[in-house]
Amino acid sequence: QVQLVESGGGVVQPGRSLRLSCAASGFTFSNYGLHWVRQAPGKGLEWVALISYDGSNKFYADSVKGRFTISRDNSIDTLYFQMNSLRTEDTAVYYCARGPYYDTRVVQHWGQGTLVTVSS
Amino acid sequence: QSALTQPASVSGSPGQSITISCTGTSSDVGGYNFVSWFQQHPGKAPKLMIYDVTNRPSGVSNRFSGSKSGNTASLTISGLQAADEADYYCNSYTSRSTLVFGGGTRLTVL
């Protein structure tokens, strides 16, 4: 079955960097687009980034554009999210999610999330 | 990109039907048939309930149905059950090749 396992969350000071990882299994990783979605404590879901199946296309929400970078390594079935210049408002649970076959217009399967806390 | 508009809360009694609306623009909900609905219980990851406006993934009860008219999509849950009490989020593809979520609706089963 589809499994997405996020890691790399933790407590970080404002202005610092953090890299999240998402290890995938149960499907042919290189055939699927992937997303990062976040949820601030007690708040709703916010889509933040997507990457196409081959990494050639990447799109970001305005709130993270220029600070965060999504990438993937299809040789080890892993998605990454490099987060720079972190702000307190970036505090959230970050979910890795997968779309349908070769499609990035829909989110289907979700990981369990990893908590990022930005605080001094 | 502004969030899609959902009512903050809805409620219903067991056995009744409820409908949650999701209003966007012609650049998202109205422009594409890529509207999804997610259910989220406290402390859990979201679960896909409806995709491509009307389609149910395998394993999702046929008590859940979706529709769209113009810039507004809707999720209807019939035969309400206690287990349906959760937060519900709509989601749409946009003209910027991004995705956008609604603000979420808390469903209370009375």
pLDDT for the residue numbered B12: 96
* Cβ contact B99–A112 (<8 Å): no
B1 pLDDT more than 80: no
| B98-104 mean pLDDT | 97
Residue A106's pLDDT band, with cuts at 50, 70 and 90, is very high
Tell me the pLDDT band of A103, cut-offs 50, 70 and 90: confident
Reported as a pLDDT band with limits 50, 70 and 90, residue B55 is very high
What is the pLDDT confidence band of residue A5, given thresholds at 50, 70 and 90?
A: very high
Give residue-wise pLDDT tens across range A37-77: 999 999 999 999 999 999 999 999 999 999 999 999 999 99
User: For chains A and B, what is the number of CB pairs under 8 angstroms?
Assistant: 60
User: pLDDT band for position B98 (50/70/90)?
Assistant: very high
Give A91's DSSP letter. Answer: -
Does the beta-carbon distance from A45 to B45 stay under 8 Å?
Answer: no
Tokens for A112, please give them: 């369990």
User: What is the spatial distance between Cα A23 and Cα A21, in angstroms, rounded to a whole number?
Assistant: 7
Residues of A in contact with B46 (CB under 8 A): 45, 95, 110
Per DSSP, the residues of A37-65 read EEE-TTS-EEEEEEE-TTSS-EEE-TTTT
CA angle (A109, B61, B83) in 5-degree steps: 85
Count of alpha carbons within 13 Å of A24, Cβ hemisphere only? 26
Per-residue pLDDT band for A101 (boundaries 50, 70, 90) equals confident
Q: In chain B, which residues have their Cβ closer than 8 Å to the Cβ of A58? A: none
pLDDT band at A100 (very low <50, low <70, confident <90, very high): confident
Interface of A with B (CB under 8 A): 35, 37, 44-47, 50, 57, 59-62, 95, 104-113
